[in-house]
């Protein structure tokens, strides 16, 4: 079976790759492009560890085929920090100890970033329901929710200042 | 000579005795002596037991000093998660 | 300088400069940017991908395996079956190792749905998957048994002919062992009781649920030497187990632990690692294996499911006179369920004159159990704490007051035998009673429950190495994988001892070739044991810096003192010298005698138990049976919280795992013994929208056996939740819930049955 040739944009960079028809976007990111920041926790879209942002919407990369990336704009955890500068969410996660083993962290950060882009002032309930598709087994979610709300507050302050 | 208390099911291997006497200056020697005096205990001792010495639980360090008035308990082998 | 083996280990009260604060962890940036490398993130040039063929039957004789067609498929480089795993000397004598070997690759029988039967390594994962389909296995399907009570029946299908002859009266049975603990005379005690509560309970098995599936990359050369990268709680355990199972010299395998995406005890053993090593050896190429989530559920160890009976009697004044328990745990297809520890932990919170707990270790056609956070204790605590609260209710006593009346304290003889040293249970009960939560009002259909719990906590073999860099920063190597943020605590303790900044210490988890043996990360032992070793290694390095300063100044070492991260002359004959900081001494190390380091190897003991009391408010929807956790507070004794944020994290994480186990998580088997819910959709762990914030109160009753008073905290937090939640739910539903999980269908049935009974009584 011949491979698909795909042209796409990942974290702002033009990317080209070949993939088997049945390879998922997650397989491509991890195995073809060496971008191992997105994790496979289940392969069936239940855990959110592979959350990426595709054309402004969060998606489980394990539920999308690599070939479907053609012509799209994809953002992953690797694109969240700007060089040395961490995104406020990343900083707040560290400050609040909102991670223990860290395997769910990339997926949750990508999902939380999308939340704050859509709703800069979410309530605790809104944060919890938005993140309901991202499983964490270590933290019990408490510090994660606090970190997201704290980051949201800082980002709102910045926007007003700007 | 120190008194060693056995956990419940271990007593079956010591003819029902709840406490036994053993000689030794450390846990290792005490266990060796118990095995010698009560051969039925040997397979279980070999598999491994946890020892409580004066309330402190020892999974492995058998060189801990045992005194004649020490409280020594043999407990089933334990592991955490 | 001679190795220090005797050192002061006892608690010394002091003011801390670094310990007790909340600095950012050293591996933090890597984890929030996706840089951190976990088990499945490693690659090697020329690497093969392996997949494992698993039994589709719960119990079957494996008559024959024909791998010829698979081997002939283009791209397949190696295939292994039971024939590639002969029983080596080390394994022959060791029942546990034999169980591990048989679990890693089935021998005469497939013992559970998902049991590994063969494995293939190929150039591409899709070719490996295709090759599995070409392996022809002839099975003779046998009757199976899933439930612990059924497995104990005389007519139950037998898993192992050599097992359980004592229980079976000379014939094989599925009861691998019986254990009993206790003291006093329970019959006499019950005779003295004025109120008795007796109940039976069932708890389902729960999986540790780590989000990262097992993954490893083995790379063995043609000389039989090589490396293994894997996510594990114990790289030394992996090395020793793999080499013993495969007949290799221990030094021929170097195991490097990756960052680990959750373990909770489930990664303190091996499943795929020996297979990867065997395939790599056979193919002469690196081999990567990553488990799918389906495989994790079908073939890796959850904890035991259990059938429990508890009877507790008390006088009207609230004094417990007798406590009795029968615990039946099934640990999957091999002996070794944690029923021993369950029996010991059952009544550990109480000071009792007459107590007994009997435990049965049962085998069934289910995956081999693995440790799960305080193995054996949560199920026992659920049953015991349910009865304790029910008894309090019958006596008209507040549930915390009833527990206080009977609580184990300093110097109490424990229910499992030894006398406790200094413990913090009473302090947690008193603190719980004072919380705003406990004194707040409840809403309609809501109930409040409390429960206490305990875990032994362990020490274990630990080795640490601490090296001074040329610029005065410190390189710290520990051998215990970091599953909860422990590296931050290690850095804090080293900095505290040396008097340097937290940021000057960088901690890594080393591979098996770089340090002495380390036991697995388990038993809540890392902050205690690796911490202890770190403190001692730092003290040794500090002493060497003192000696260097003394040499530089030409004065004796005992005329030098260490203060605020520098050597100072001390005493009347020391003379006048400018202090020498770590940075100064490090810069001169090469010229003054060579590299400066400290290290410490120890079989650490003296870990103190950690007690906890949890308070839960639960609300029941009487139309759907759904339980909502409205409020949750964890009160637990940490001895000394080295990094409070990570201590809180352990409290919260354990509590939420307990919530999942109590309310929703379960294994659903069909009538063929096949698992129907091997995925996160239907094995329902708590999600963010299920939960409130988890409030925490850290109690600090110092552990006399640690210089800072540290107690492990990671496991105790999962022990009280099921009991506390069952008590809250039973209060809300006004009927006692005795089956875990308290899922909506079960609660609905319980409500309907109790309504029917009430109607019938009218």
Instruction: Pick the closest to residue C559 from C550, C238, C622 (CA basis).
Output: C550
Cβ contacts of B12 within 8 Å, gap of 6 or more: none
CB contacts of B61 in chain C (<8 Å) are 459, 603-605
Collapsed DSSP state (helix, strand, coil) of residue C172: coil
| Confidence category of residue B80, pLDDT binned at 50, 70, 90 | confident
Which residue of chain B is at minimal alpha-carbon distance from C370?
A: B81
Inspect the interface and report whether the beta carbons of C421 and B56 lie closer than 8 Å.
yes
Residues C322 and C293 sit within 8 Å (Cβ to Cβ): no
Interface of A with C in 116-145 (CB under 8 A): 124-125, 127-129, 131-145
The reported pLDDT for the residue numbered C4 is 29
CB contacts of B8 in chain C (<8 Å) are 179-182, 356, 358
CB contacts of A86 in chain C (<8 Å) are 29, 32-33
Q: Per 3-state DSSP, what percentage of chain A is helix, strand, and coil (rounded to 5)? A: 45, 20, 40
- Long-range CB contacts (< 8 A, 24+ apart) of C501-507? C501/C18, C502/C18, C502/C21, C502/C23, C503/C23, C504/C472, C504/C473, C504/C474, C504/C582, C505/C473, C505/C474, C505/C476, C506/C26, C506/C473, C506/C474, C506/C475, C506/C476, C507/C26, C507/C476, C507/C477, C507/C478
> Nearest CB to B60: which of C268, C373, C460?
C460
pLDDT at A160 over 80: no
Residues A101, A103, A109, A111, CA torsion sign: negative
Inspect the interface and report whether the beta carbons of B8 and C181 lie closer than 8 Å.
yes
Global confidence as pTM:
0.95
To which residue do tokens 């070999």 refer? B46
CB contacts of A80 in chain C (<8 Å) are 33
Q: Is C269 exposed, middle or buried (0-12, 13-18, 19+ CB in 10 A)?
A: buried
Task: Show which subunits contact A, needing at least 3 CB pairs below 8 angstroms.
Answer: C
Pairs of CB atoms within 8 A across B/C: 109
> Nearest CB to C24: which of A94, A104, A136?
A94
| Confidence category of residue B53, pLDDT binned at 50, 70, 90 | confident
**pLDDT tens, position by position, C409-441:** 999 999 998 899 999 999 999 999 999 999 999
Which H helix or E strand runs over A145? helix A142-161
Residues A38 and A52 sit within 8 Å (Cβ to Cβ): yes
Inspect the interface and report whether the beta carbons of B61 and C417 lie closer than 8 Å.
no
Inspect the interface and report whether the beta carbons of C31 and A97 lie closer than 8 Å.
no
CA gap B4, B67 in Å, rounded? 12
Residues C647 and C635 sit within 8 Å (Cβ to Cβ): no
Inspect the interface and report whether the beta carbons of C212 and A103 lie closer than 8 Å.
yes
Peptide bond before residue C741 is cis, with ω within 30 degrees of 0: yes
Whether C517 has its CB under 8 Å from any CB of chain A: the answer is: no
> Nearest CB to C212: which of A36, A41, A127?
A41
The reported pLDDT for the residue numbered C5 is 38
Which H helix or E strand runs over A7? strand A4-10
The superfamily (CATH) of domain B2-76 is: Beta-grasp domain (3.10.20.30)
The reported pLDDT for the residue numbered C761 is 87
Inspect the interface and report whether the beta carbons of B8 and C705 lie closer than 8 Å.
no
Inspect the interface and report whether the beta carbons of B59 and C459 lie closer than 8 Å.
yes
**pLDDT tens, position by position, C631-642:** 999 999 999 999
Whether A18 has its CB under 8 Å from any CB of chain C: the answer is: no
Residues C454 and C351 sit within 8 Å (Cβ to Cβ): no
Query: For chain C, which ranges sit under pLDDT 50?
Result: 1-5
Whether C264 has its CB under 8 Å from any CB of chain A: the answer is: yes
Cα distance from C528 to chain A (closest Cα, Å)?
Answer: 18
> Nearest CB to B81: which of C181, C373, C459?
C373
Collapsed DSSP state (helix, strand, coil) of residue A27: helix
The reported pLDDT for the residue numbered C56 is 98
Inspect the interface and report whether the beta carbons of A140 and C41 lie closer than 8 Å.
no
The reported pLDDT for the residue numbered C6 is 57
Pairs of CB atoms within 8 A across A/C: 177
Count CB atoms within 10 A of the CB of residue A5.
11
Inspect the interface and report whether the beta carbons of B57 and C607 lie closer than 8 Å.
yes
Instruction: Pick the closest to residue C217 from C487, C27, C37 (CA basis).
Output: C37
């Amino acid at each position: 079976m011949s491979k698909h040739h795909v042209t796409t944009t990942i974290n702002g960079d033009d990317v080209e790759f070949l993939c088997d028809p049945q390879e998922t976007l997650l397989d491509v990111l991890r195995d073809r492009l060496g971008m191992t920041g997105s994790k496979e926790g289940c392969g069936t879209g239940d855990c959110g560890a592979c959350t990426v942002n595709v054309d402004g919407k969060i998606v489980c990369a394990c539920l999308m085929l690599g070939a479907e990336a053609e012509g799209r704009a994809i953002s992953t955890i690797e694109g969240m920090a700007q060089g040395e500068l961490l995104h406020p969410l990343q900083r707040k996660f560290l400050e609040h100890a909102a991670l223990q083993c860290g395997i769910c962290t990339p997926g949750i950060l990508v999902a939380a970033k999308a939340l704050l882009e859509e709703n800069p002032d979410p309530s605790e309930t809104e944060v919890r329901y938005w993140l309901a598709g991202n499983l964490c087994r270590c933290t019990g979610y408490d510090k994660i929710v606090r970190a997201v709300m704290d980051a949201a507050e800082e980002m709102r302050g910045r926007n007003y200042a700007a | 000579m120190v008194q060693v208390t056995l956990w419940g099911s271990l007593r079956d291997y010591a003819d029902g005795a709840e406490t036994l006497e053993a000689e030794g200056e450390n846990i290792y020697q005490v266990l060796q002596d118990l095995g010698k005096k009560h051969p039925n205990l040997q397979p279980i001792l070999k598999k491994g037991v946890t020892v409580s010495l004066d309330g402190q639980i020892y999974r492995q360090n058998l060189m801990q000093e045992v005194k004649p008035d020490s409280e020594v308990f043999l407990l089933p082998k334990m592991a955490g998660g | 300088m001679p190795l220090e083996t005797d050192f002061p280990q006892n608690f010394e009260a002091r003011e801390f400069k670094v310990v007790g604060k909340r600095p950012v962890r050293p591996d933090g940036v890597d984890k929030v940017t996706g840089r951190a490398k976990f088990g499945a993130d490693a690659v090697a040039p020329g690497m093969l991908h392996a997949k494992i063929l698993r039994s589709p039957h719960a119990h079957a004789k494996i008559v024959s395996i024909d791998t010829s067609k698979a081997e002939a498929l283009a791209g397949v480089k190696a295939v292994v079956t039971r024939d590639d795993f002969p029983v080596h000397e080390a394994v022959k004598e060791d029942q546990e190792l034999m169980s591990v070997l048989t679990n890693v690759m089935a021998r005469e029988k497939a013992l559970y749905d998902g049991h590994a039967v063969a494995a293939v390594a190929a150039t591409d994962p899709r070719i490996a998957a295709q090759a599995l389909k070409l392996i022809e296995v002839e099975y003779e399907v046998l009757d199976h048994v899933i439930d612990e009570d059924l497995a104990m029946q005389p007519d139950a299908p037998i898993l192992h002919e050599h097992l359980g002859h004592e229980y079976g009266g000379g014939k094989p049975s599925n009861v691998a062992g019986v254990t009993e603990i206790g003291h006093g005379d329970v019959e006499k005690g019950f005779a003295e009781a004025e109120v008795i509560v007796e109940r039976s309970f069932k708890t389902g098995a729960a999986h540790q649920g780590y989000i990262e599936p097992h993954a490893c990359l083995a790379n063995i050369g043609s000389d039989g030497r090589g490396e293994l990268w894997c996510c594990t709680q114990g790289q030394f355990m992996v090395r020793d187990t793999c080499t013993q199972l495969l007949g290799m010299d221990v030094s021929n395998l170097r195991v490097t632990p990756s960052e680990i995406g959750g373990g909770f005890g489930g990664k303190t053993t091996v499943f795929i690692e020996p297979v990867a090593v065997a395939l790599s050896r056979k193919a002469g190429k690196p081999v990567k294996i990553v488990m799918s989530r389906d495989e994790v559920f079908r073939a890796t160890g959850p904890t035991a499911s259990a059938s429990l009976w508890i009877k507790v009697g008390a006088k009207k004044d609230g004094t417990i006179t007798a406590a009795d328990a029968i615990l039946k745990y099934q640990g999957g297809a091999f002996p070794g369920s944690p029923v021993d520890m369950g029996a010991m932990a059952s009544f550990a919170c109480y000071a009792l004159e007459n107590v007994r707990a009997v435990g049965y270790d049962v085998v069934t056609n289910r995956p081999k159990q693995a440790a799960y956070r305080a193995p054996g204790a949560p199920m026992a605590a659920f049953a015991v704490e349910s009865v304790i609260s029910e008894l309090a209710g019958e006596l008209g006593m507040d549930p915390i007051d009833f527990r206080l009346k009977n609580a184990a304290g300093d110097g109490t003889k424990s229910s499992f035998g030894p006398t406790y040293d200094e413990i913090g249970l009473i302090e947690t009960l008193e603190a719980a009673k004072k919380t705003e939560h406990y004194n707040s009002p409840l809403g309609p259909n809501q109930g409040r429950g409390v429960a206490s719990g305990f875990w032994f906590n362990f020490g274990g073999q630990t080795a640490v190495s601490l090296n001074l860099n040329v610029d005065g920063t410190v390189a710290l190597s520990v051998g215990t994988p970091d599953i909860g943020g422990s590296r931050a605590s290690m850095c804090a303790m080293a900095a505290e001892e040396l008097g340097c900044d937290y940021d000057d210490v960088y901690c890594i988890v080393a591979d098996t070739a770089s340090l002495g043996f380390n036991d697995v990360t388990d038993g809540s032992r890392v902050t205690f044991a690796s911490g202890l070793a770190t403190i001692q290694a730092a003290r040794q390095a500090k002493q060497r810096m003192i000696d260097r300063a003394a040499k530089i100044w030409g004065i004796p070492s005992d005329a030098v003192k260490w203060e605020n991260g520098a050597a100072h002359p001390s005493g009347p004959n020391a003379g006048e010298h400018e202090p020498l900081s770590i940075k100064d001494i490090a810069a001169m190390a090469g010229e003054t005698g060579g590299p400066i380091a400290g290290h410490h190897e120890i079989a650490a003991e003296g870990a103190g138990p950690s007690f906890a009391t949890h308070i839960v408010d639960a609300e029941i929807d009487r139309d759907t049976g759904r339980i909502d956790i409205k409020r949750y507070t964890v009160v637990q004794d940490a001895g000394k919280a080295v990094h409070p944020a990570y201590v809180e994290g352990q409290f919260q994480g354990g509590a939420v795992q307990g919530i999942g186990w109590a309310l929703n998580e379960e294994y659903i088997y069909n009538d063929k013994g096949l698992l129907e819910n091997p995925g996160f959709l239907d094995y329902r762990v708590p999600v963010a929208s299920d939960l409130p914030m988890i409030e925490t109160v850290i109690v600090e009753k110092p552990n006399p056996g640690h210089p800072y008073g540290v107690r492990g905290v990671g496991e105790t937090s999962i022990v009280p939740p099921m009991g506390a939640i069952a008590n809250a739910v039973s209060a809300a539903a006004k009927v006692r819930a005795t089956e875990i999980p308290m899922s909506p269908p079960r609660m609905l049935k319980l409500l309907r049955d109790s309504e029917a009974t009430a109607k019938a009584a009218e």
